[in-house]
Amino acid sequence: MLIAQLSDIHVRPKGRLYKDVVDSNRMLVAAIEHLHGLDRRPDLVVVTGDLVDDGHPDEYSHAVELLDRLTIPFLVIPGNHDQRDNFRAAFADHRYLPPQGPLHYCVDDHPVRILALDTCPQGKHHGHVDADGLAWLQSTLAANPHKPTLVLMHHPPFVSGIPYMDRFRYFDANPLAEVLRAHSNIEAVLCGHVHRAMVRRWAGTIVAACPSTTTEIALQLDPGAEPRSYLGPPACMLHLWDPQHGLVSHTSYIGAYPGPYRFF
Ligand SMILES: [Fe+2]
Ligand SMILES: [Fe+2]
């Protein structure tokens, strides 16, 4: 099974730019064309939050219009820039989304089980899952404790070292880590939010953060660094699973680059 991950697509209303400078809408179209042009067609696409920038219905209608260009089935989770009610209304035909409350869900139609955690307290930019959410996670994991499982969540549950992102990190991750550490079938936790590729060992599994299809947040590790972002090479991730070899996660850059060249 091949799972493609897009993250932080930050769709704007038609004709509007992200941060007034970047055409995130056009970049999402490029990301979709990139997935359609891969030599192996993904079986599923997961979009790990920040689907829009302001949470307004006109952004969501445009996000749905663009994402519906995908010829591959896709799942969505919210990020801190999403507005839960507008998100739910926009994706009303996505039957896996719960009709009320946080957008936690489980999709068990594939060789890999997918659990999505809504880490977004409404009106805040940091991440957190409350006790009810952790209880849902615990019971959902316990219901199928041997099937290979991926957990999707927008906020990476660790300190990145990038000071302006860590102010909006997932707070108090230890209770979540305890739930996950008790299960040995979690292949990986897939996140977004930081607009950069990162990987970390955590809670007995691997956490991978996916780059954005639009801007790259600056890699600055000085605690006093000022927030910056760049137009770097946009990217997505490709998670290749098979029961014999397990999961391998690739970063796949979007766009045209020189090559191919012979290397033997
Ligand atoms: Fe984002
Ligand atoms: Fe975010």
Query: Are the C-beta atoms of residues 103 and 78 closer than 8 Å to each other?
Result: yes
CA 126 from chain center: how many Å?
15
pLDDT range class, residue 264, cuts 50, 70, 90: confident
pTM of the predicted protein model:
0.98
d(CA 6, CA 213): 7
Mean pLDDT of the chain: 97
- From the CA of 165, the nearest ligand is 2
- Other C-beta atoms closer than 10 Å to the C-beta of 67 total 20
Domain ranges of the chain: 2-253
- State the Cα torsion 207-211-217-221 to the nearest 10°: 30
Minimal CA–CA distance to 119: which of 195, 52, 176, 70? Answer: 176
Whole-number Å distance, alpha carbon 214 to ligand 1 midpoint, is 9
Whole-number Å distance, alpha carbon 128 to ligand 2 midpoint, is 12
Parallel/antiparallel/unpaired status of strands 2-6 and 246-253: unpaired
Minimal CA–CA distance to 118: which of 72, 78, 163, 170? Answer: 78
Whole-number Å distance, alpha carbon 203 to ligand 2 midpoint, is 22
Whole-number Å distance, alpha carbon 169 to ligand 2 midpoint, is 9
* Torsion sign, CA atoms 151, 154, 157, 160: positive
* Whether residue 223 has pLDDT greater than 90: yes
Whole-number Å distance, alpha carbon 25 to ligand 1 midpoint, is 14
Whole-number Å distance, alpha carbon 144 to ligand 1 midpoint, is 31
What is the token pair recorded at 77?
Answer: 């989770």
Whole-number Å distance, alpha carbon 48 to ligand 2 midpoint, is 9
Whole-number Å distance, alpha carbon 155 to ligand 2 midpoint, is 7
- Other C-beta atoms closer than 10 Å to the C-beta of 199 total 12
Whole-number Å distance, alpha carbon 39 to ligand 2 midpoint, is 30
Whole-number Å distance, alpha carbon 79 to ligand 1 midpoint, is 7
pLDDT value of position 194: 98
pLDDT range class, residue 263, cuts 50, 70, 90: confident
Q: For the residues 32-46, what does the mean pLDDT come to? A: 98
* Whether residue 234 has pLDDT greater than 90: yes
Cβ-proximal residues to 57 (8 Å cutoff; 6+ apart), any chain: 86, 89, 90
CA 39 from chain center: how many Å?
23
pLDDT range class, residue 237, cuts 50, 70, 90: very high
Whole-number Å distance, alpha carbon 147 to ligand 2 midpoint, is 29
Minimal CA–CA distance to 63: which of 5, 116, 12, 118? Answer: 12
Whole-number Cα distances in Å, 59 to 96, 140, 239: 22, 32, 28
d(CA 29, CA 52): 14
Whole-number Å distance, alpha carbon 51 to ligand 2 midpoint, is 9
Give pLDDT tens digits for 55-79.
999 999 999 999 999 999 999 999 9
CATH class for the domain made up of 2-253: alpha beta
Give pLDDT tens digits for 84-95.
999 999 999 999
- From the CA of 79, the nearest ligand is 2
Give pLDDT tens digits for 169-215.
999 999 999 999 999 999 999 999 999 999 999 999 999 999 999 99
